[in-house]
Amino acid sequence: MAAVALLRPACPKAEIYPGLRAKPPVPCRAPEDRNRPPPPIDRAMDEEYDVIVLGTGLKECILSGLLSVDGLKVLHMDRNDYYGGDSTSLNLNQLWKRFRGEDKPPAHLGASRDYNVDMVPKFMMANGTLVRTLIHTDVTKYLSFKAVDGSYVFSKGKIHKVPATDMEALKSPLMGLFEKRRARNFFIYVQDYDEADPKTHQGLDLTTMTTRELIAKYGLSDDTVDFIGHALALHRDDRYLNEPAIDTVKRMKLYAESLARFQGGSPYIYPLYGLGELPQGFARLSAVYGGTYMLNKPDCKVEFDMEGKVCGVTSEGETAKCKKVVCDPSYLPNKVRKIGKVARAIAIMSHPIANTNDSHSVQIILPQKQLGRKSDMYVFGCSYTHNVAPKGKFIAFVSTEAETDHPESELKPGIDLLGQVDELFFDIYDRYEPVNEPSLDNCFVSTSYDATTHFETTVTDVLNMYTLITGKTVDLSVDLSAASAAEEY
């Protein structure tokens, strides 16, 4: 599978999609340097900043980069001594220490430095908002990507490929012959729909009509509705059926456009060396535009004035003054509320996931109805082909919105799809959302990462926060068409 460089070549001899304009290759870092962030800039705490950003998770790093590009004076701090926060990637020793409390994993798993295991595993829609943000900010010059091999859905106890071509759709066992005809008519309507052209609406107002009402016009079965809503529109539960149909139609169009972008087996791409590269890329962007970074700053305490507005951040007895604070929920626990929790399993394997055509990178969606649950379950698979594990090793994640306190049993339907595993780790973490009013205290808190295996909800939160902070919207009408022609080096 070819590597995808949206703006620049990847390492020498990689097959790539060259991107939007020619750039000199950036020297490739050695594998042992992949977790080494750009050096923090040494600057005293006694300055005043427009914005102080706390935490170097992906959301905070994107905002830090966007605000720095806008010309704001930004200080970015983290209590940890590494970049990425909750969305970092760990080598094998770090993974072992986190989940087993030991520094020495077994030798048969290979070298620690060859692992880059994501703590928030997600793929990127090829035409989605994160890719548009990467191109808009030029952060793509720090990253290289590969297309993801396949996208699958779990239905009636079996794994089925989400059709990527007309021929695959015709042969797919997901629908019978007559159902395929009805579904085809619906897909044609969605494909031709243009929000700005009433002629394509066929007299339907999708801003008031629910998804359930729209689908009913085409007589589709419950199983087909399940497939469309969860495997194509990527809804997390069935609430969308009673919401305006325009959102589902837009999601389906994004899926189709992303699928066509690189003409692979899925609509997704994924960065070489894992997602830990993303926050580091945006951190570099911020630094280029004058952002200041301070890692390993313990006990970051947000300070408020007499009116309850933020006025600075104190760490180690020093206070940096500021007008606004951006942070993840862990820095302002009194301004967030718990909204759920995510259960997750991480598996190291020596083979691809069964029934996925030996795919080295794959997503499998298990819709809620298939499991008798309230929300979907997701399987995310990647491997040495994305430089996240040693040769011959595969990494799989199973995640869902937790409905019990027992992740081992709750995740069993997804884990059963993996086959034999070399090692298996379980994790469960709480999800939070802000409850404060930013206009009153100038604190802008991100929402915790959800269980989905794509970035659309993540970037939506970032863009909404950016608008709250600046009063502006990010122009994501970038040229996506140029990154298509393959070339070998």
% of the chain exceeding 90 in pLDDT: 60
The torsion region of residue 419 among left (phi > 0), alpha (psi -120 to 50) and beta comes to left
Among 350, 394, 373, 352, CA closest to 152? 352
pLDDT, average across residues 146-169: 85
Contacts of 200 (CB under 8 A, 6+ apart): 192, 193, 194
Query: pLDDT grade, residue 165 (50/70/90)?
Result: low
Which of 52-56, 253-257, 419-423 is least confident?
253-257
- What average pLDDT does the segment 96-109 reach? 89
Look at the chain and count its residues: 489
The full set of domain ranges for the chain reads 162-263
pLDDT-derived band at 487 (thresholds 50, 70, 90) equals very low
What pLDDT does 483 receive? 45
Predicted confidence (pLDDT) at residue 322 exceeds the cutoff of 50? yes
Higher pLDDT among residues 394 and 142, named by residue: 394
pLDDT of residue 86: 84
- More confident: 439 or 483: 439
Over residues 277-302, the pLDDT tens digits come to 899 899 999 999 999 999 899 889 99
Contacts 24+ apart (CB under 8 A), 248-256: 248/211, 248/214, 249/190, 249/193, 249/206, 249/214, 250/195, 252/187, 252/190, 252/228, 253/190, 253/191, 253/193, 254/125, 254/127, 254/128, 254/456, 255/125, 256/190, 256/191
Does 160 score more than 80 pLDDT? Answer: yes
Instruction: Answer whether residue 29 shows pLDDT above 90.
Output: no
CA distances from residue 10 to 7, 17, 20, 297 in whole angstroms, order as listed: 9, 9, 14, 34
What is the rounded CA–CA span in Å between residue 290 and residue 74?
Answer: 8
pLDDT of residue 365: 94
pLDDT tens digits, one per residue of 1-19 = 445 444 333 332 223 333 3
* Mean pLDDT confidence for 424-431: 93
Residues 337-354: what's their mean pLDDT? 96
256-267 confidence digits (pLDDT tens): 889 888 777 889
Over residues 204-228, the mean pLDDT reads 92
Q: Quick one: which H or E segment has residue 239?
A: none
23 pLDDT above the threshold of 70 = no
Give the model confidence (pLDDT) of 438-482 as tens digits. Answer: 999 999 999 999 888 888 889 999 999 999 999 999 888 876 654
User: Lowest mean pLDDT: which of 126-140, 319-333, 390-404?
Assistant: 126-140
Reduced to 3 states, what is the DSSP secondary structure of residue 208?
coil
- pLDDT > 90? residue 32: no
Asked if CATH classification 1.20.59.10 holds for the domain at 162-263, the reply, yes or no, is no
pLDDT tens, residue by residue, 55-102: 999 999 999 999 999 999 999 999 988 888 888 899 999 999 999 987
